[in-house]
Structure 1
Amino acid sequence: MKRTSIILILILIIVFSCQQKKQEQETTTTTADTIEFTEIIKEDYELYQPHKEVKAVLILFGGYPEVAEDIQREFKILDMARKNSIAVIFSNFNQKLWLEESEKHQLAASLQKVIVENQLPTDRIFIGGFSSGGVVCLLISNFIVGMKQYHIDPKGVFIVDSPIDLVALYKSSEKNIERNFSEPSIQESTWLLETLGSNFGNPKDHIKKYEDKAVFTYSTGNITNLNKLKKTKIRLYTEPDTLWWKENRMADYEQMNAFYIKKLSENLIEKGYEHVEYIPTTNKGYRANGERHPHSWAIVDKKDLIKWMLNE
């Protein structure tokens, strides 16, 4: 009898713990406009989903060190998304300047699983990313559209000041180390040369390896990894503040992400891509802590982005 009582107590403890864990992962919130949202917190992502009609799904990838919490802090889109009945998925997938084939399959499958399991619409998906997250955004979108087993083709994609040209990154890093001007620039450039060099070699001798992985290679005009997005809406955000980069990093315009983003937009339009928008901004780049930095989520006009998604 005593043993039976102990077992019952243990069962009750386990049930209570599971219920408590579920409550921690799924909570309901109500906005001032009485639109109820469910928050689902997982290891790989955070999902904020309206209870009733979902007008669109927004998937966001952060910069190299950013996880869901960081994206929410730097890109305060959630309240606006709630008011417009848009589900938002903040991904924890990061630290990628390119994607291997196995990573593309795994990421596409995981995104499809999230969307299907939560009964989100598969025909109104938009994917965006900041910095290296924009690289992920474009590469995975192109991959999904090109693979029949995935049924979550994005209707639109956007990047925020992303380093889209790996050859340009390598060459710029060489210049930064030679100048020896900014400690953050030297540290980043040293890491980039080691990372790119160890994976692909020097682009002078191995340009094909760079073209195979990069979003865009300006020196050769290669956009192979975007060839499935001709009919997809594409937005390219950047803030070409040449003065800030010169004063803070001693960088030339040709070293900035903005230069290659503009060249990419011109290349895509020239090759018949139907819905490409190049969006340069001025003095919008500020981090959440108030620091002035043109390389920031803040350069995106959130209200205009919502309109773009909803075709208003």
Structure 2
Amino acid sequence: MRLAILSFLFVSFSISVLGQEIEYTFSTPGDSTKNYYVTIHPKDEVKGALILLPGFGELPKQTLLDSEIYKHASEAGYMTIIPALGDWSFFYIDEPSHQKLDQFIDEVFKKYNLKESSFFIGGFSLGGTMAIQYAQSANSENSIQKKPQAVFAIDPPLDIERLYNCMVTTNRPAKNPVSIQEDEYVTDRIQQEFGTNPQANPEFFWKVSPYAESDPEHRSLKSLVNVPIRIYNEPDINWYIENRNIDFNCINAIDSAAMINWLKFLGNSNAELILTKDQGYRISRKMRHPHSWTIADGNELVSWLIKQKAD
């Protein structure tokens, strides 16, 4: 049975910013802490739609500050919809989260009369993980979900077993204070949401992860063989060593490279890994960080998405 979290009445209002109409749709009027979404309308005819998923701990208001993808989409005639499917702690990768996204997509398809032939999905960090999981599920056998024409992810953790093991390992020279807090929270949430962990039940995480290195059959990739996919990473290992005391084993690029490598081997000629240098910058915080929205060139990304549109 589907969750009913998003099925109650929404209240919307619109504002105009630099020629773009930005519509805020709230479940509780004026409450931008949870259960709302932002729609950026193009000036003229709507040619399609992009659902953009924030990273873990982010809400749409921060995505609007740190990403310019929606601006380029709007200029190209595409509507962008950025949801908060819960509050800041929305976890993205568990089944209840997936059900919320499914219901949300059904609702906005009806509201805006969207078409699968011009529908795209992507996201940042765990939002990117969820975007890929959605594409996998939508393209699986007998799925009734809306199928995106292409999917992209910006520095997503894809192998949840690798992520968990990195966070619990004691085999590090030191552990940065920022990492300590994040690692404890994420590993506790994994245990809480799934009732197990990759060390106790690695096979379970072969199904949970968009890519699972320890799965000898790489079953999670089969439904993506015909899906155009892009993954962006900025593997600035010296930044990670100096600022987080971690090496290549603990950065997301290791998952991305493996996943794209396998997809190409399996026959996906439209699977791409985009690696950047010195592009990562968190605009709202005015700080250098390779794990940021800005590693994706919004204009070039939107151009690539449009090329994947069904005829």
Q: Is 2:253 aligned against 1:258?
A: yes
Rate the CA distance shift 1:128–1:221 in 2: closer, same or farther, 3 A.
farther
Q: Which residue pairs with 2:305 in the alignment?
A: 309
Q: Which residue pairs with 2:13 in the alignment?
A: 26
Work out which of the residue numbers 78, 84, 87 in structure 2 matches 1:92. 84
Structure 1 residue 167, shift from structure 2 partner: 0.9
Structure 1 residue 125, shift from structure 2 partner: 0.8
Give the Cα–Cα distance (whole angstroms) in 1 for the partners of residues 307 and 23 of structure 2: 26
Q: Which residue pairs with 1:174 in the alignment?
A: 168
Q: Is the 8 A contact 1:61 1:90 kept in 2?
A: yes
Q: Is the 8 A contact 2:22 2:38 kept in 1?
A: no
Work out which of the residue numbers 70, 87, 91 in structure 1 matches 2:62. 70
Give the Cα–Cα distance (whole angstroms) in 2 for the partners of residues 180 and 201 of structure 1: 27
Work out which of the residue numbers 42, 51, 59 in structure 2 matches 1:59. 51
Q: Which residue pairs with 2:209 in the alignment?
A: 214
Work out which of the residue numbers 290, 294, 297 in structure 2 matches 1:294. 290
Q: Which residue pairs with 1:3 in the alignment?
A: none
Structure 2 SS opposite 1:227: helix
TM-score (norm 2): 0.83
Rate the CA distance shift 1:204–1:175 in 2: closer, same or farther, 3 A.
closer
Q: How many residues align?
A: 285
Rate the CA distance shift 1:228–1:42 in 2: closer, same or farther, 3 A.
farther
Q: Is 2:110 aligned against 1:116?
A: yes
Q: Which runs of 5+ in 2 are unaligned?
A: 1-9, 28-35
Rate the CA distance shift 1:170–1:67 in 2: closer, same or farther, 3 A.
same
Give the Cα–Cα distance (whole angstroms) in 2 for the partners of residues 307 and 215 of structure 1: 25
Deviations 1:137-175 (A, max 9, x none): 11112222335433x210010000011111111211123
AA matched with 1:227 = K
Structure 1 residue 31, shift from structure 2 partner: 4.8
Tell me which moved more, 273-282 or 197-206: 197-206
Give the Cα–Cα distance (whole angstroms) in 1 for the partners of residues 50 and 226 of structure 2: 19
| Identity among equivalent pairs (%) | 26
Rate the CA distance shift 1:26–1:204 in 2: closer, same or farther, 3 A.
closer
Give the Cα–Cα distance (whole angstroms) in 2 for the partners of residues 251 and 209 of structure 1: 26
Q: Is the 8 A contact 2:174 2:245 kept in 1?
A: no
Work out which of the residue numbers 178, 186, 189 in structure 2 matches 1:192. 186
TM-score (norm 1): 0.83
Q: Which runs of 5+ in 1 are unaligned?
A: 1-20
Rate the CA distance shift 1:38–1:247 in 2: closer, same or farther, 3 A.
closer
Structure 1 residue 294, shift from structure 2 partner: 0.2
Q: Which residue pairs with 1:161 in the alignment?
A: 155
Give the Cα–Cα distance (whole angstroms) in 1 for the partners of residues 69 and 263 of structure 2: 28
Query: Between Structure 1 and Structure 2, whose CA radius of gyration is higher?
Result: 1
Tell me which moved more, 49-58 or 66-75: 49-58
Q: Which residue pairs with 2:23 in the alignment?
A: 39
Structure 1 residue 115, shift from structure 2 partner: 1.7
Task: Kindly indicate whether structure 1 or structure 2 has the higher relative contact order, using CA contacts under 8 Å at least 6 residues apart.
Answer: 2
